Structure 1
Amino acid sequence: MTEWTPDELDRIGAAEELELASRRPDGTLRPYVTMWVARVGDGLYVRSAYGPEAGWYRRAVASGTGRIRAGGIERDVRFADAATDVHADLDAAYREKYARYAENIVATVVGEHRYDVTVRLVPAG
């Protein structure tokens, strides 16, 4: 299995925002969508602030693959489920990283109401 390099983890994890594009059935990329990204250990994660009906989330789950750009890194990825034991640490990572934003904004990506729309970004071959 391909893993993130320490440099990629540092740069993507520190990036303010991440751009994510899922793949269409023909293999081409959809337009990039900008979102927050958080790191827990050796994992990088995104969450749907607008729940399971958000277009980018539905398309990412359906395709399973795409491309991300953040921190000067551009990489093909797979979209995977997050382990259930990561959510509390991920909530803390989002709160710490985005603490300068109002709580009502950060609350869109933290808490149990977002656990089921958490995507682990896995580098593709």
Structure 2
Amino acid sequence: MSDADRIIQHLDETDTITIATRRRSGELVPTFIWSAVADGAGDRVGYLRSAFGPGSWWYRRATADGWMGLDLGAEPEDTEGTPSAAWVELVELAVEHVPDDAVHAAEHEALDAALTAKYGHDPQNLAPMLSEDARACTLRVRIHEEARA
């Protein structure tokens, strides 16, 4: 299985993923978030959304430099606590903002459906992920090298 396939599988099958973003100092900050995979342009694409809009620290750091790490080996048992900075298998991702506009409407609708299918069992926490603020803070993720090609 290729690295890209492993990333998509992890984003699709893992309920709560562990990401890393960088502070200005270079320190990596672990954060638990939700993810989803939807069809886009003939490919399965990984997405992240900031449920709390542009003020979320992880979102601000990721969009500041277009970089994020994803821990493919993390299996958080307690996602209510603080994630560990003991990375198991950290892979580098590039993130790209997906505007909430008419051009990207179908992409957002596919992502809304994927989020609902994956997290519909938790409607209270799903609702913020489908809000206008969250849609405006949607990121498409790719392997770091692919995004630079």
Structure 2 length normalisation: TM-score?
0.71
Q: CA RMSD in A?
A: 2.2
The corresponding residue for 2:139 is 119
Among 49, 52, 64, which residue is 2:51 paired with?
Answer: 49
The answer for unaligned runs of 5 or more in structure 2 is: 75-88
What is the correspondence of 1:22-101 to structure 2 with a 5 Å cutoff? 22-25=21-24, 28-41=26-39, 42-70=44-72, 74-82=90-98, 84=104, 85-101=106-122
* Residue in structure 1 matching 2:127, options 107, 110, 119: 107
Letter in 2 for 1:61: T
Q: Once the two structures are superposed, what CA deviation does each residue of 1:7-58 show, in whole Å capped at 9, x if it has no partner?
A: 43223311111111123445x3421110000001321111001111111111
Q: Which amino acid aligns with 1:91?
A: D
Residue 65 of structure 2 aligns to which amino acid in structure 1?
Answer: S
Superposed structure 1 runs of 4+ greater than 6 Å apart: none
Q: Return the letter of the residue paired with 2:130.
A: V
- Structure 1, unaligned runs of 5 or more: none
* Separation (CA, whole Å) in 2 of partners of 1:89 and 1:121: 15
Alpha-carbon contact 1:15-1:71 (below 8 Å) kept:
no
1:89-120 per-position Cα deviation (integer Å, ceiling 9, x unaligned): 1000000101111x231011114332210011
Q: CA distance change for structure 1 residues 122 and 29 in 2, over 3 Å: closer, same or farther?
A: farther
**Cα separation, 2, equivalents of 1:48 and 1:79:** 13
Matched length: 121
Partner amino acid, structure 1, of 2:132: E
CA contact (8 A) 1:22 1:65 kept: yes
Sequence identity (%): 25
Letter in 2 for 1:38: A
Deviates more, 1:109-118 or 1:30-39: 109-118
